[in-house]
A and B are shown apart, each in its own frame.
Chain A
């Protein structure tokens, strides 16, 4: 079974932008160790000659003409309505730069 430290679990919560819940650390640690322990079986396979596959299809260059096709007004309004905070038709977000 893979060993994951408590510190690594805390770092993962931060990296994944998930809220750190002290009560969950032990559970997540156990889950991660079991899952990573299971998938560690892959490491013994000889893949030196294997092709790395990244997609469900082996298409190359599925091009289309790069032209702007505006959404319908209904789609546009729907997207704007789903913004948590908006001003006119803009999505209002917190500043990226902090003082």
Chain B
């Protein structure tokens, strides 16, 4: 959408100046969706009629001076976020035909401020994957190269944003599912502090790790969305209002900001061209006034292994609710017994959810709980301590978002471990609960590279301030 409205702020300014109307944008979007979505598969379902009607109401709101803060801003919503009265299925056959009975808090806040839903975006089934190939409804393609994956699990949201099929999109991030697709598609992906956005209305994958956040074409747009959706909510006991205190000395300047570069993150396995882009990004941070400090996170390398115990354990628990008793894709009618009904109904899970449920069941089972699950939670404690120690020395931590650029569709689909390794730089922010953002940082082999910045818990605003300074310095081109 860049040529029509490069940012939320500019779009709203154009609406107010009456040089653009929401209904014009809706018409343009419809045309693009018809042309591009069948190939891209960014959206599982779009709501053209409702979008046009809502855009007409937004036209009236601007005409009468009653426009709300996000009136006429078009959003893509990941398919694991509930929107009342619409099919909502986490891209799974398990929930085929399920109509959400209510709207989740984050989405409702966007709607209450006037945002208009374009559609539900594609994703890896129940957010389990790093490529969106695990969707039961076909893979999303990367807008930069249609033979490549867009990353995942919020790959549909990233592709929709990067290809101009919405202003912004919501995703969810359990181990990198906002940041990694943002990196692979060349947009901004922000994972807020755990609990800073209510999870009410998000289908749970791993409850101690899941966070809702924005994918956007700019840091400013991500900030606008975050400011709209954040805040405590009595329907999510882990939600809270952030209380960050750090500030930049002057807008756009990183003078006095200490940025840590973990030596454990720049090792073999990281693509050389990706590393080159990220090193240029680090040089940009220095140009902006930041002090670059080498740090050590001695247990960070164990984050991925800890994650692939903790996450499946929580997955196996959360997905036990899909048993054929409460949701439409049920085989209970043809079942000989309740247990038979459970088993027959759960055949609707695709291979990756089944794989993770089995791993989770194993690590939680008697005899293995201490060796796997309890040990992983203790390692999580060690990693949190590493980060807390690091915050004594630095204000931010920088790293690549993904060890590689987008890879060809199908390349890793039969090798789950290789797929899991693509999240190696993003996992720790979820284990620790800190805010983290992926920003475009040049290209390698013609494909986007992302740089990742992380800040202490609740310092989301400071992180966004630094990210915006970085973005304004022209880091997207990294030269």
Contact = CB atoms under 8 A, between A and B. Distances in A.
Contact of A17 (B84, B85, B309, B323): B323
A95 B337 CA distance: 8
A74 B84 contact: yes
Instruction: Name the residue in A38, A59, A72 with the highest tally of chain B Cβ atoms < 10 Å from its Cβ.
Output: A38
Interface majority SS (helix, strand, loop, mixed), chain B: helix
Given A39-B372, A45-B382, A75-B102, A32 B344 contact: no
A52 B382 contact: no
Nearest to A64: B234
Interface in B336-395: 337-339, 341-344, 346-347, 349, 354-355, 357-359, 361-363, 365, 371-372, 374-382, 384-385
A87 to B, nearest CB: 13
Interface string A29-54: 00110111011011101010011111
B325 interface: yes
B102 A50 contact: no
A69 B416 CA distance: 44
Contacts of B194: 56-57
B355 A41 contact: no
B346 A82 contact: no
A84 B208 contact: no
Task: Kindly state the interface size class of chain A when it binds its partner.
Answer: 35 or more
B326 interface: yes
Given A15-B365, A45-B302, A78-B102, A35 B326 contact: no
Interface in A74-98: 74-79, 81-85, 91, 93-96, 98
B377 A17 contact: no
Counting chain B CB atoms within 10 Å of each CB, the highest count among A15, A96, A98 belongs to A15
Interface string A1-44: 00000000000110111110000000010011011101101110
B44 to A, nearest CB: 18
A52 B372 contact: no
B357 A35 contact: no
Interface residues of B, number: 70
Contacts of B330: 84-85
Given A38-B417, A59-B240, A93 B372 contact: no
A55 interface: yes
B209 A53 contact: no
B362 A12 contact: yes
A42 B309 contact: yes
Given A17-B323, A64-B237, 16 more contacts: A12-B362, A17-B342, A17-B346, A18-B354, A28-B358, A42-B302, A42-B372, A50-B381, A52-B381, A59-B240, A62-B238, A78-B85, A84-B324, A84-B327, A93-B325, A94-B332
21 contacts: A16-B346, A16-B354, A17-B339, A31-B355, A32-B359, A34-B417, A36-B359, A39-B305, A39-B376, A42-B309, A42-B376, A45-B302, A51-B384, A53-B378, A56-B195, A56-B209, A75-B84, A82-B326, A84-B327, A84-B332, A94-B335
Interface of B: 84-85, 98-102, 194-195, 208-209, 234, 237-238, 240, 299, 302, 305-306, 308-309, 316, 320, 323-328, 330, 332-333, 335, 337-339, 341-344, 346-347, 349, 354-355, 357-359, 361-363, 365, 371-372, 374-382, 384-385, 416-417, 420, 430, 433
